[in-house]
Amino acid sequence: MDFTRRAVLKAAIASFVTSISGQATARGGQGKKVIVIGAGIAGLAAAHTLRSLGAEVIVFEAESYIGGRIRTDHSMGAPFEYGAGWIHGPSRANPVKKLAMQVDAPTFITDDDSLELQNMQRQPVNEADYQWIDDQYEALLRKLEQQGRRWGDRSIYQVIQDVAPVLLNDPRAQWMLSAFIEFDLGAGIEEISAAHAFADDKYRGEDVILPKGYDGILTPLVEGLDIRLNTPVSRVFYGDEGVLVEGEHADYAVCTASLGVLKAGNILFDPPLPDAMRNAIEGIGFGTVTKIALKFERAFWDVHTQYFGIMTEPKGRWNYWINYRTFSEENILLGLSFGHYAPVADAMSKPAMTADALEVLRSVWGRAVERPSAVLATHWSQEPNFRGAYSYPQAGGTIAQYESFESPVAGRIFMAGEHTIFKYHSTTHGALMSGERAAKKIASL
Protein backbone atom coordinates (compact mmCIF):
# COMPACT_ATOMS: atom_id res chain seq x y z
CA MET A 1 0.00 0.00 0.00
CA ASP A 2 1.23 3.50 -0.66
CA PHE A 3 2.37 5.68 2.22
CA THR A 4 -0.34 8.32 1.88
CA ARG A 5 -3.13 5.80 2.12
CA ARG A 6 -1.48 4.18 5.12
CA ALA A 7 -1.23 7.55 6.87
CA VAL A 8 -4.90 8.27 6.21
CA LEU A 9 -5.91 4.91 7.62
CA LYS A 10 -3.76 5.38 10.72
CA ALA A 11 -5.37 8.73 11.29
CA ALA A 12 -8.79 7.13 10.87
CA ILE A 13 -7.94 4.48 13.44
CA ALA A 14 -6.59 7.09 15.85
CA SER A 15 -9.69 9.30 15.71
CA PHE A 16 -12.02 6.33 16.09
CA VAL A 17 -10.07 4.78 18.93
CA THR A 18 -9.96 8.06 20.85
CA SER A 19 -13.74 7.78 21.06
CA ILE A 20 -13.69 4.27 22.52
CA SER A 21 -10.39 4.16 24.41
CA GLY A 22 -11.99 5.01 27.74
CA GLN A 23 -14.23 1.97 27.62
CA ALA A 24 -11.54 -0.33 26.21
CA THR A 25 -9.55 -0.32 29.43
CA ALA A 26 -12.32 -2.02 31.44
CA ARG A 27 -11.60 -5.61 32.55
CA GLY A 28 -13.36 -8.57 30.94
CA GLY A 29 -14.97 -8.15 27.56
CA GLN A 30 -17.05 -5.13 28.60
CA GLY A 31 -16.39 -2.10 26.41
CA LYS A 32 -14.08 -3.97 24.06
CA LYS A 33 -14.70 -4.39 20.39
CA VAL A 34 -13.08 -7.36 18.65
CA ILE A 35 -12.95 -8.49 15.03
CA VAL A 36 -12.57 -12.21 14.52
CA ILE A 37 -11.23 -13.37 11.16
CA GLY A 38 -12.66 -16.77 10.23
CA ALA A 39 -15.77 -18.66 11.34
CA GLY A 40 -14.13 -22.05 11.79
CA ILE A 41 -14.29 -23.62 15.24
CA ALA A 42 -11.40 -21.48 16.55
CA GLY A 43 -13.05 -18.25 15.40
CA LEU A 44 -16.47 -19.30 16.67
CA ALA A 45 -15.04 -20.31 20.04
CA ALA A 46 -13.19 -16.99 20.33
CA ALA A 47 -16.26 -14.98 19.33
CA HIS A 48 -18.59 -16.97 21.59
CA THR A 49 -16.29 -16.60 24.61
CA LEU A 50 -15.74 -12.89 24.03
CA ARG A 51 -19.44 -12.26 23.60
CA SER A 52 -20.23 -14.14 26.80
CA LEU A 53 -17.67 -11.93 28.56
CA GLY A 54 -19.50 -8.84 27.35
CA ALA A 55 -17.42 -7.83 24.31
CA GLU A 56 -18.78 -6.56 21.03
CA VAL A 57 -17.70 -9.01 18.34
CA ILE A 58 -17.88 -9.13 14.55
CA VAL A 59 -16.80 -12.25 12.66
CA PHE A 60 -15.59 -11.90 9.07
CA GLU A 61 -15.76 -15.14 7.10
CA ALA A 62 -14.51 -15.49 3.53
CA GLU A 63 -16.69 -18.49 2.67
CA SER A 64 -20.47 -18.70 2.33
CA TYR A 65 -20.79 -21.09 5.27
CA ILE A 66 -19.63 -21.35 8.87
CA GLY A 67 -17.42 -24.13 10.24
CA GLY A 68 -14.37 -23.92 7.96
CA ARG A 69 -12.72 -27.32 8.11
CA ILE A 70 -15.78 -28.66 9.91
CA ARG A 71 -18.00 -29.02 6.88
CA THR A 72 -20.69 -31.65 6.47
CA ASP A 73 -22.66 -32.53 3.34
CA HIS A 74 -25.92 -34.35 4.04
CA SER A 75 -26.94 -34.98 0.41
CA MET A 76 -25.94 -38.65 0.33
CA GLY A 77 -28.33 -39.76 3.05
CA ALA A 78 -25.45 -40.13 5.52
CA PRO A 79 -23.12 -37.26 6.33
CA PHE A 80 -20.00 -36.77 4.25
CA GLU A 81 -17.41 -34.92 6.27
CA TYR A 82 -15.27 -32.78 3.98
CA GLY A 83 -13.02 -32.00 6.91
CA ALA A 84 -12.96 -33.34 10.47
CA GLY A 85 -14.59 -36.76 10.84
CA TRP A 86 -13.56 -37.96 14.28
CA ILE A 87 -13.54 -36.59 17.79
CA HIS A 88 -10.08 -37.74 18.80
CA GLY A 89 -9.92 -38.83 22.44
CA PRO A 90 -13.56 -38.17 23.30
CA SER A 91 -13.17 -38.18 27.08
CA ARG A 92 -15.31 -35.78 29.07
CA ALA A 93 -12.32 -33.43 29.32
CA ASN A 94 -12.32 -32.95 25.54
CA PRO A 95 -14.12 -29.65 24.83
CA VAL A 96 -15.44 -30.91 21.49
CA LYS A 97 -16.94 -33.94 23.20
CA LYS A 98 -18.56 -31.47 25.61
CA LEU A 99 -20.13 -29.64 22.68
CA ALA A 100 -21.35 -32.94 21.24
CA MET A 101 -22.95 -33.76 24.59
CA GLN A 102 -24.54 -30.32 24.75
CA VAL A 103 -26.42 -30.99 21.50
CA ASP A 104 -27.05 -34.67 22.33
CA ALA A 105 -25.15 -35.77 19.24
CA PRO A 106 -24.93 -39.55 18.96
CA THR A 107 -21.40 -40.91 18.54
CA PHE A 108 -20.04 -44.12 17.07
CA ILE A 109 -16.71 -45.80 17.84
CA THR A 110 -14.93 -46.80 14.64
CA ASP A 111 -13.15 -50.03 15.46
CA ASP A 112 -9.57 -49.75 14.17
CA ASP A 113 -9.13 -53.51 14.49
CA SER A 114 -11.99 -54.21 12.09
CA LEU A 115 -9.70 -54.07 9.08
CA GLU A 116 -9.37 -56.15 5.94
CA LEU A 117 -6.11 -55.53 4.15
CA GLN A 118 -5.44 -56.62 0.56
CA ASN A 119 -2.83 -56.11 -2.07
CA MET A 120 -3.72 -55.05 -5.60
CA GLN A 121 -3.50 -58.62 -6.84
CA ARG A 122 -6.65 -59.45 -4.84
CA GLN A 123 -4.74 -61.39 -2.20
CA PRO A 124 -5.77 -60.68 1.37
CA VAL A 125 -2.93 -60.63 3.84
CA ASN A 126 -2.76 -63.38 6.46
CA GLU A 127 -2.77 -63.20 10.27
CA ALA A 128 1.02 -63.22 10.41
CA ASP A 129 1.12 -60.16 8.16
CA TYR A 130 -1.27 -58.22 10.43
CA GLN A 131 0.89 -59.13 13.40
CA TRP A 132 4.04 -58.06 11.57
CA ILE A 133 2.47 -54.69 10.69
CA ASP A 134 1.35 -54.12 14.29
CA ASP A 135 4.75 -55.06 15.68
CA GLN A 136 6.64 -52.86 13.25
CA TYR A 137 4.34 -49.92 13.90
CA GLU A 138 4.63 -50.19 17.66
CA ALA A 139 8.40 -50.57 17.52
CA LEU A 140 8.70 -47.50 15.30
CA LEU A 141 6.40 -45.42 17.51
CA ARG A 142 8.40 -46.40 20.58
CA LYS A 143 11.61 -45.24 18.93
CA LEU A 144 10.10 -41.99 17.72
CA GLU A 145 8.39 -41.19 21.02
CA GLN A 146 11.01 -42.29 23.51
CA GLN A 147 14.10 -41.07 21.72
CA GLY A 148 12.54 -37.92 20.24
CA ARG A 149 15.40 -35.53 20.95
CA ARG A 150 17.94 -37.88 19.40
CA TRP A 151 16.41 -37.34 15.97
CA GLY A 152 17.22 -33.63 15.77
CA ASP A 153 16.09 -32.12 12.47
CA ARG A 154 15.56 -35.43 10.72
CA SER A 155 12.35 -36.56 9.05
CA ILE A 156 10.57 -39.81 9.90
CA TYR A 157 11.74 -41.17 6.55
CA GLN A 158 15.38 -40.41 7.38
CA VAL A 159 15.09 -42.05 10.78
CA ILE A 160 13.54 -45.17 9.23
CA GLN A 161 16.47 -45.31 6.81
CA ASP A 162 18.71 -45.58 9.88
CA VAL A 163 16.75 -47.74 12.27
CA ALA A 164 14.41 -49.93 10.18
CA PRO A 165 15.33 -49.73 6.47
CA VAL A 166 13.36 -52.91 5.80
CA LEU A 167 10.18 -50.82 6.10
CA LEU A 168 11.06 -48.79 3.04
CA ASN A 169 10.85 -51.74 0.64
CA ASP A 170 8.01 -53.73 2.09
CA PRO A 171 4.51 -53.04 0.67
CA ARG A 172 2.88 -53.91 4.01
CA ALA A 173 5.06 -51.36 5.77
CA GLN A 174 4.52 -48.76 3.07
CA TRP A 175 0.80 -49.14 3.61
CA MET A 176 1.16 -48.89 7.39
CA LEU A 177 3.36 -45.78 7.20
CA SER A 178 0.85 -44.08 4.94
CA ALA A 179 -2.51 -45.17 6.39
CA PHE A 180 -1.41 -44.63 9.99
CA ILE A 181 1.29 -41.95 10.12
CA GLU A 182 0.67 -39.91 6.95
CA PHE A 183 -3.06 -39.88 7.71
CA ASP A 184 -2.52 -38.80 11.29
CA LEU A 185 -0.01 -36.06 10.44
CA GLY A 186 -1.41 -35.04 7.06
CA ALA A 187 1.87 -35.06 5.15
CA GLY A 188 4.52 -37.36 3.67
CA ILE A 189 6.87 -39.13 6.09
CA GLU A 190 9.64 -37.45 4.10
CA GLU A 191 8.57 -34.05 5.50
CA ILE A 192 7.41 -34.85 9.05
CA SER A 193 9.73 -34.18 11.99
CA ALA A 194 10.74 -37.44 13.69
CA ALA A 195 11.42 -35.58 16.93
CA HIS A 196 8.04 -33.84 17.19
CA ALA A 197 5.61 -36.08 15.29
CA PHE A 198 4.30 -37.76 18.42
CA ALA A 199 5.23 -35.20 21.08
CA ASP A 200 1.74 -33.69 21.26
CA ASP A 201 -0.89 -34.52 23.90
CA LYS A 202 -3.95 -36.70 23.51
CA TYR A 203 -7.20 -37.00 25.38
CA ARG A 204 -8.26 -40.45 26.45
CA GLY A 205 -10.90 -42.54 24.78
CA GLU A 206 -11.43 -44.35 21.51
CA ASP A 207 -12.04 -42.05 18.57
CA VAL A 208 -15.66 -41.54 17.57
CA ILE A 209 -17.49 -40.20 14.55
CA LEU A 210 -20.75 -38.28 14.61
CA PRO A 211 -23.23 -40.26 12.48
CA LYS A 212 -25.63 -37.29 12.33
CA GLY A 213 -22.90 -34.91 11.17
CA TYR A 214 -19.96 -33.05 12.76
CA ASP A 215 -21.49 -29.67 11.90
CA GLY A 216 -24.16 -30.14 14.61
CA ILE A 217 -21.65 -29.40 17.36
CA LEU A 218 -21.23 -25.82 16.19
CA THR A 219 -24.78 -24.79 17.11
CA PRO A 220 -24.06 -23.74 20.72
CA LEU A 221 -21.14 -21.56 19.59
CA VAL A 222 -22.96 -19.69 16.84
CA GLU A 223 -25.95 -18.39 18.76
CA GLY A 224 -26.26 -14.60 18.79
CA LEU A 225 -23.06 -13.91 16.86
CA ASP A 226 -22.69 -11.22 14.19
CA ILE A 227 -21.11 -13.32 11.43
CA ARG A 228 -20.51 -11.70 8.05
CA LEU A 229 -20.24 -14.43 5.43
CA ASN A 230 -18.64 -13.95 2.00
CA THR A 231 -16.38 -11.31 3.55
CA PRO A 232 -12.73 -12.15 2.91
CA VAL A 233 -10.26 -10.07 4.86
CA SER A 234 -7.31 -8.96 2.76
CA ARG A 235 -5.68 -6.35 5.03
CA VAL A 236 -5.27 -5.91 8.75
CA PHE A 237 -3.92 -2.59 10.00
CA TYR A 238 -2.91 -2.33 13.62
CA GLY A 239 -1.13 0.03 15.95
CA ASP A 240 -1.19 1.47 19.44
CA GLU A 241 -4.68 2.77 18.85
CA GLY A 242 -6.41 -0.38 17.68
CA VAL A 243 -7.08 -2.31 14.51
CA LEU A 244 -8.71 -1.60 11.19
CA VAL A 245 -10.06 -4.56 9.24
CA GLU A 246 -12.11 -4.23 6.05
CA GLY A 247 -13.23 -0.75 7.00
CA GLU A 248 -14.24 -1.79 10.52
CA HIS A 249 -12.40 -0.36 13.54
CA ALA A 250 -11.93 -2.30 16.76
CA ASP A 251 -9.66 -2.66 19.74
CA TYR A 252 -8.37 -6.11 18.88
CA ALA A 253 -8.44 -8.71 16.12
CA VAL A 254 -8.27 -12.48 16.39
CA CYS A 255 -6.92 -14.10 13.23
CA THR A 256 -7.88 -17.75 12.76
CA ALA A 257 -7.12 -18.15 9.05
CA SER A 258 -5.40 -21.47 8.36
CA LEU A 259 -1.63 -21.80 8.25
CA GLY A 260 -1.96 -22.39 4.51
CA VAL A 261 -3.66 -19.02 4.11
CA LEU A 262 -0.95 -17.34 6.20
CA LYS A 263 1.79 -19.02 4.17
CA ALA A 264 0.19 -17.82 0.94
CA GLY A 265 0.08 -14.26 2.27
CA ASN A 266 -3.64 -13.88 1.51
CA ILE A 267 -3.91 -11.49 4.43
CA LEU A 268 -1.59 -8.51 4.50
CA PHE A 269 -0.64 -7.34 7.97
CA ASP A 270 0.45 -3.73 8.31
CA PRO A 271 2.93 -3.42 9.90
CA PRO A 272 4.20 -6.91 8.97
CA LEU A 273 4.03 -9.67 11.56
CA PRO A 274 7.12 -10.02 13.79
CA ASP A 275 10.03 -12.15 12.57
CA ALA A 276 9.36 -14.97 15.05
CA MET A 277 5.83 -15.39 13.73
CA ARG A 278 6.90 -15.25 10.11
CA ASN A 279 9.51 -17.85 10.90
CA ALA A 280 6.79 -20.04 12.45
CA ILE A 281 4.53 -19.62 9.42
CA GLU A 282 7.37 -20.89 7.27
CA GLY A 283 8.72 -23.54 9.64
CA ILE A 284 5.49 -25.36 10.55
CA GLY A 285 4.22 -27.66 7.83
CA PHE A 286 0.79 -27.62 6.23
CA GLY A 287 -0.19 -30.69 4.23
CA THR A 288 -3.29 -32.19 2.74
CA VAL A 289 -5.46 -35.28 2.84
CA THR A 290 -8.00 -36.14 0.13
CA LYS A 291 -11.36 -37.86 0.59
CA ILE A 292 -13.77 -39.29 -1.94
CA ALA A 293 -17.18 -40.75 -1.04
CA LEU A 294 -18.68 -43.16 -3.57
CA LYS A 295 -22.30 -44.20 -3.18
CA PHE A 296 -23.39 -47.45 -4.84
CA GLU A 297 -26.74 -49.10 -5.57
CA ARG A 298 -25.61 -52.24 -3.74
CA ALA A 299 -22.77 -53.17 -1.43
CA PHE A 300 -20.15 -55.45 -3.03
CA TRP A 301 -18.04 -55.55 0.12
CA ASP A 302 -18.40 -57.19 3.51
CA VAL A 303 -20.79 -54.76 5.21
CA HIS A 304 -19.60 -55.68 8.70
CA THR A 305 -15.94 -54.71 8.19
CA GLN A 306 -15.13 -51.17 9.31
CA TYR A 307 -12.04 -50.48 7.20
CA PHE A 308 -10.55 -51.82 3.99
CA GLY A 309 -6.84 -51.28 3.43
CA ILE A 310 -5.37 -51.64 -0.05
CA MET A 311 -1.61 -51.76 -0.59
CA THR A 312 -1.61 -49.39 -3.53
CA GLU A 313 1.18 -47.84 -5.49
CA PRO A 314 2.24 -45.14 -5.40
CA LYS A 315 2.14 -44.96 -1.64
CA GLY A 316 -0.87 -43.05 -0.31
CA ARG A 317 -3.17 -43.61 -3.31
CA TRP A 318 -6.71 -44.45 -2.05
CA ASN A 319 -5.25 -46.96 0.37
CA TYR A 320 -7.76 -46.70 3.23
CA TRP A 321 -11.54 -47.06 2.90
CA ILE A 322 -14.28 -46.52 5.46
CA ASN A 323 -17.43 -48.61 5.18
CA TYR A 324 -20.52 -46.51 5.90
CA ARG A 325 -22.68 -49.59 6.29
CA THR A 326 -21.25 -50.05 9.78
CA PHE A 327 -22.97 -46.88 11.00
CA SER A 328 -25.63 -46.07 8.38
CA GLU A 329 -27.97 -47.66 5.86
CA GLU A 330 -26.10 -46.17 2.93
CA ASN A 331 -23.88 -48.16 0.53
CA ILE A 332 -21.04 -45.69 0.70
CA LEU A 333 -17.32 -46.29 0.67
CA LEU A 334 -15.15 -43.34 1.64
CA GLY A 335 -11.61 -43.50 0.27
CA LEU A 336 -8.60 -41.53 1.44
CA SER A 337 -5.33 -40.45 -0.13
CA PHE A 338 -2.33 -39.38 1.91
CA GLY A 339 1.23 -38.12 1.78
CA HIS A 340 2.62 -37.16 -1.59
CA TYR A 341 -0.38 -38.61 -3.40
CA ALA A 342 -2.90 -36.34 -1.65
CA PRO A 343 -1.95 -33.13 -3.52
CA VAL A 344 -1.93 -35.14 -6.76
CA ALA A 345 -5.46 -36.35 -6.03
CA ASP A 346 -6.56 -32.86 -4.90
CA ALA A 347 -5.58 -31.48 -8.28
CA MET A 348 -7.73 -34.00 -10.20
CA SER A 349 -11.14 -33.07 -11.59
CA LYS A 350 -14.03 -34.93 -9.96
CA PRO A 351 -14.44 -37.37 -12.91
CA ALA A 352 -10.68 -38.05 -13.00
CA MET A 353 -10.58 -38.61 -9.25
CA THR A 354 -13.60 -40.92 -9.44
CA ALA A 355 -11.96 -42.98 -12.19
CA ASP A 356 -8.73 -43.17 -10.20
CA ALA A 357 -10.50 -44.33 -7.05
CA LEU A 358 -12.64 -46.85 -8.95
CA GLU A 359 -9.52 -48.34 -10.53
CA VAL A 360 -8.19 -49.05 -7.05
CA LEU A 361 -11.49 -50.58 -5.89
CA ARG A 362 -11.67 -52.75 -9.04
CA SER A 363 -8.19 -54.07 -8.34
CA VAL A 364 -9.76 -55.71 -5.29
CA TRP A 365 -13.44 -56.32 -6.13
CA GLY A 366 -13.20 -56.54 -9.92
CA ARG A 367 -16.38 -56.22 -11.95
CA ALA A 368 -18.57 -56.19 -8.85
CA VAL A 369 -17.69 -52.50 -8.63
CA GLU A 370 -20.41 -50.69 -10.57
CA ARG A 371 -20.56 -47.00 -11.40
CA PRO A 372 -21.41 -44.98 -8.28
CA SER A 373 -24.76 -43.22 -8.14
CA ALA A 374 -23.29 -40.22 -6.28
CA VAL A 375 -19.81 -38.88 -5.63
CA LEU A 376 -18.45 -36.23 -3.26
CA ALA A 377 -14.79 -35.29 -3.11
CA THR A 378 -12.44 -32.86 -1.39
CA HIS A 379 -9.70 -30.65 -2.83
CA TRP A 380 -8.43 -28.90 0.31
CA SER A 381 -5.07 -27.81 -1.05
CA GLN A 382 -6.83 -26.18 -4.01
CA GLU A 383 -9.21 -24.14 -1.87
CA PRO A 384 -7.97 -20.54 -1.63
CA ASN A 385 -9.33 -20.01 1.90
CA PHE A 386 -7.63 -23.13 3.31
CA ARG A 387 -4.77 -24.32 1.04
CA GLY A 388 -4.47 -27.65 2.78
CA ALA A 389 -5.96 -29.87 5.45
CA TYR A 390 -4.02 -29.46 8.69
CA SER A 391 -0.65 -28.45 10.10
CA TYR A 392 2.15 -30.83 11.00
CA PRO A 393 5.52 -30.53 12.74
CA GLN A 394 7.88 -30.19 9.82
CA ALA A 395 11.41 -31.65 9.90
CA GLY A 396 13.76 -28.89 10.97
CA GLY A 397 11.01 -26.99 12.79
CA THR A 398 10.62 -26.37 16.52
CA ILE A 399 7.88 -26.42 19.12
CA ALA A 400 8.86 -22.82 19.94
CA GLN A 401 7.56 -21.90 16.50
CA TYR A 402 4.05 -22.96 17.54
CA GLU A 403 4.47 -21.10 20.83
CA SER A 404 5.29 -17.88 19.02
CA PHE A 405 1.61 -17.67 18.06
CA GLU A 406 0.63 -17.46 21.73
CA SER A 407 1.88 -13.90 22.20
CA PRO A 408 -0.24 -11.10 20.80
CA VAL A 409 1.27 -8.87 18.16
CA ALA A 410 1.65 -5.33 19.49
CA GLY A 411 -1.01 -6.22 22.06
CA ARG A 412 -3.61 -6.01 19.28
CA ILE A 413 -3.53 -9.07 17.01
CA PHE A 414 -4.20 -12.47 18.56
CA MET A 415 -3.52 -15.63 16.59
CA ALA A 416 -5.71 -18.71 16.97
CA GLY A 417 -6.42 -21.86 14.98
CA GLU A 418 -5.25 -25.45 15.08
CA HIS A 419 -1.72 -24.48 13.98
CA THR A 420 -1.19 -22.23 17.03
CA ILE A 421 -1.38 -24.89 19.74
CA PHE A 422 1.30 -27.57 19.57
CA LYS A 423 -0.21 -29.80 22.27
CA TYR A 424 -3.40 -30.38 20.29
CA HIS A 425 -2.50 -29.26 16.77
CA SER A 426 -4.48 -30.50 13.75
CA THR A 427 -7.59 -31.21 15.76
CA THR A 428 -10.94 -29.58 16.27
CA HIS A 429 -10.46 -29.49 20.04
CA GLY A 430 -7.04 -27.82 19.63
CA ALA A 431 -8.58 -25.19 17.36
CA LEU A 432 -11.41 -24.57 19.82
CA MET A 433 -9.02 -24.25 22.76
CA SER A 434 -6.83 -21.78 20.85
CA GLY A 435 -9.88 -19.59 20.17
CA GLU A 436 -10.87 -19.61 23.83
CA ARG A 437 -7.26 -18.85 24.79
CA ALA A 438 -7.20 -15.74 22.58
CA ALA A 439 -10.57 -14.58 23.91
CA LYS A 440 -9.53 -14.95 27.55
CA LYS A 441 -6.28 -13.07 26.92
CA ILE A 442 -8.20 -10.19 25.42
CA ALA A 443 -10.65 -10.21 28.30
CA SER A 444 -7.80 -10.10 30.80
CA LEU A 445 -6.28 -6.94 29.34
Ligand X SMILES: Cc1cc2nc3c(=O)[nH]c(=O)nc-3n(C[C@H](O)[C@H](O)[C@H](O)COP(=O)(O)OP(=O)(O)OC[C@H]3O[C@@H](n4cnc5c(N)ncnc54)[C@H](O)[C@@H]3O)c2cc1C
Nearest to 386 by CA among 70, 155, 122, 81: 70
Is 380 near ligand X (CB under 6 A)?
A: yes
Q: CB of 161: closest distance to ligand X in angstroms?
A: 29
User: Of 1 and 26, which CB lies nearer to ligand X in the complex structure?
Assistant: 1
- Min dist CB 216 to ligand X, Å, is 14
Least separation in angstroms between residue 186's CB and ligand X is 7
C-beta closer to ligand X: residue 345 or 360: 345
Secondary structure string (H, E, C) spanning the chain: CCHHHHHHHHHHHHHHHHHHHHHHCCCCCCCCEEEEECCEHHHHHHHHHHHHCCCEEEEECCCCCCECCCCEECCCCCCEECCCCEECCCCCCCHHHHHHHHCCCCCEECCCCCEEEEECCCCECCHHHHHHHHHHHHHHHHHHHHCHHHHCCCEHHHHHHHHCHHHHCCHHHHHHHHHHHHHHHCCCCCCEECCCCCCCCCCCCCCEECCCCHHHHHHHHHCCCEEECCCCCCEEEEECCEEEECCEEECEEEECCCHHHHHHCCCEEECCCCHHHHHHHHHCEEECCEEEEEECCCCCCCCCCCEEEEECCCCCCCCEEEEHHHCCCCCEEEEEECCCHHHHHHCCCHHHHHHHHHHHHHHHHHHHCCCCCEEEECCHHHCCCCCCCEEECECCCCHHHHHHHHCCECCCEEECCHHHCHHHCCCHHHHHHHHHHHHHHHHHC
Nearer to ligand X, 158 or 385 (CB): 385
The single residue among 258, 312, 381, 404 that binds ligand X, judged by CB under 6 A, is 258
Is residue 339 within the footprint of ligand X (CB under 6 A)? Answer: no
Q: Residues 77-116 vs ligand X: string with x where CB under 6 A?
A: ------xxxx-x----------------------------
Judged by beta carbon, residue 151 or residue 405, the one nearer ligand X is: 405
Smaller CB separation from ligand X, 60 or 308: 60
Q: Which is nearer to ligand X, 88 or 317 (CB)?
A: 88
Any contact of residue 62 with ligand X (CB under 6 A)? yes
Judged by CB under 6 A, does residue 63 bind ligand X? yes
How many chain residues touch ligand X (CB under 6 A)?
Answer: 41
* For ligand X, the closer CB: 143 or 309: 309
261 binds ligand X (CB under 6 A): yes
What angle in degrees, to the nearest 10, is found between the helix axes of 156-163 and 127-146?
110
Tell me the residue nearest to ligand X as measured from the CB. Answer: 40
Binding mask 29-48 for ligand X (x = CB under 6 A): --------xxxxxxx-----
Contacting residue, 32, 33, 51, 69, with ligand X by CB under 6 A: 69
Range in contact with ligand X (rule: CB under 6 A) among 54-62, 159-167, 193-201, 349-357: 54-62
321 near ligand X, rule: CB under 6 A: no
Q: Considering only residues 267-306, where is the footprint of ligand X by CB under 6 A?
A: 267, 289, 291
Binding residues (CB under 6 A) for ligand X: these are: 37-43, 60-63, 68-70, 83-86, 88, 232-233, 256-258, 261, 266-267, 289, 291, 378, 380, 385-386, 389-390, 417-418, 426-428, 431
